[in-house]
Chains A and B, each alone.
Chain A
């Protein structure tokens, strides 16, 4: 009896261990680090795009007007933009800047460079509380 009980305990333990691999709602410190590293890689790439004279057509870079991403206000989007005549998302304003001061062409909303720019801008503004709609 005792022996059988021990065996079932061991088996249960093995099953729990096997089971934990398949469970989606748990993650480890390594996972957290991996995800943070992935985000920081996007931030780093974003800084490169933000200072890349080839993003537009005239050599102007985003950081020329927005040192450290300042005056971009990611925490205020979505918000009404008078000249766009509607409530706009941040990527639409990024494209406005690419089209106008940079004299370039729109990036797709899911272009990896757009993703990188938005990641960088948000990082430079971390800790500031959300104020959607604010001017």
Chain B
């Protein structure tokens, strides 16, 4: 019963917002006490204007996600932050972002985004948040965090300054950018890390960029995606979560379910809407709702996730928009939107 009121007292915070929530629990597999969920916040792009002035819109997006997350009932076991906390990777931006995140009541694990990284190759981020890749176990699920946004050394070292490098990488469509990858060192680490995990342990991998290839021009892409997928192949139930794309995407490749998460900052167009280049959005995806581009938080949001069964139920929390749930369909062995999979509504059509 309680589960139906997961945002206790949130009404006061969100004037006019219709409050959720019918949670779809896919109850099978593990016993009830293993049941848990975590919240996922991503892509806040905290942007400094000057001194202590920051872009208000993006501050508000993250502040709202943290406040809503704090009101979850039942509580999340932990929070994931999916990368791009900062816009240009500076100390003031990372500090300001972490200050807003400090209001979050739960233990938070962080993923590195390119906007956090390319100013100083992640040095300040690391000094505040620890290693760029790591793993942990929670209630029978093995979680892995990768830094998927590195590029080759030649590109990394060719700039006259960190600021110049960051400036180029911060432009999603900047033709001077370079394709992301996880790289050989982390792939070797991943193999080693997974060697001690049994093949029937549910696996969750967090990356910033998609560990699948959708559109290279905007780095909706990881160059060594196939190699990572091959490492994950022997496991029975694998779930990959990524940020970066600022939109809803989901897919199934073999044993691996892929889900993107929403940004708190702003939404991005689907690559198919760029008419001058081909792209490959997974056919399975029912696109996000662009109900009202005039509304500051339109097509942004955060989510909470159940993976305790080994398969994902992704609950997307979308300001002034009906929440959406994308859950694993046991019969068809793939993630599907529980409401819109076979009946899209007009604001979900992008062109």
B55 touches A60 (CB 8 A): yes
Whether B275 sits at the interface, judged by CB under 8 Å, is yes
Asked whether A68 and B171 contact (CB < 8 A) given A59-B47, A127-B275, the answer is no
Interface size in chain A (residues, C-beta < 8 A): 25
Asked whether A71 and B269 contact (CB < 8 A) given A60-B47, A60-B55, the answer is yes
Whether B92 sits at the interface, judged by CB under 8 Å, is no
Q: What is the CA–CA distance of A27 and B78 in the complex, to the nearest angstrom?
A: 70
Picked from B47, B274, B275, B346, the residue with its CB within 8 Å of the CB of A67 is: B274
B275 touches A71 (CB 8 A): no
Asked whether A70 and B49 contact (CB < 8 A) given A58-B55, A63-B172, A65-B266, the answer is no
Identify the interface centre among B49, B217, B350: most chain A CB within 10 Å of its CB.
B49
- Binary interface profile of B, 319-351, with partner A (CB < 8 Å = 1, else 0)? 000000000000000000000000000100011
Residues of B within 8 A of A51 (CB): 171
A68 touches B217 (CB 8 A): yes
Whether A124 sits at the interface, judged by CB under 8 Å, is yes
Picked from A58, A59, A66, A96, the residue with its CB within 8 Å of the CB of B269 is: A66
Whether B276 sits at the interface, judged by CB under 8 Å, is yes
13 contacts between A and B (CB under 8 A): A59-B48, A59-B55, A66-B269, A67-B218, A67-B268, A68-B274, A68-B277, A70-B274, A71-B273, A100-B296, A124-B276, A127-B276, A135-B346
Asked whether A64 and B266 contact (CB < 8 A) given A70-B274, A124-B276, the answer is yes
Closest to A61 in B: B171
A63 touches B171 (CB 8 A): yes
Whether B108 sits at the interface, judged by CB under 8 Å, is no
A68 touches B276 (CB 8 A): yes
Whether A125 sits at the interface, judged by CB under 8 Å, is yes
Q: What is the CA–CA distance of A13 and B276 in the complex, to the nearest angstrom?
A: 48
B273 touches A58 (CB 8 A): no
Q: What is the CA–CA distance of A70 and B55 in the complex, to the nearest angstrom?
A: 23
Which DSSP category, helix, strand, loop or mixed, fits chain B's interface? loop
Closest to B55 in A: A58
Q: What is the CA–CA distance of A117 and B351 in the complex, to the nearest angstrom?
A: 20
Q: What is the CA–CA distance of A89 and B138 in the complex, to the nearest angstrom?
A: 54
Residues of B within 8 A of A59 (CB): 47-49, 55
Picked from A67, A96, A124, the residue with its CB within 8 Å of the CB of B172 is: A67
Picked from B56, B171, B273, the residue with its CB within 8 Å of the CB of A70 is: B273
Whether B57 sits at the interface, judged by CB under 8 Å, is yes
Residues of A within 8 A of B296 (CB): 100
- Binary interface profile of A, 38-82, with partner B (CB < 8 Å = 1, else 0)? 000000000000010000011110011111101101000000001
Residues of B within 8 A of A135 (CB): 346
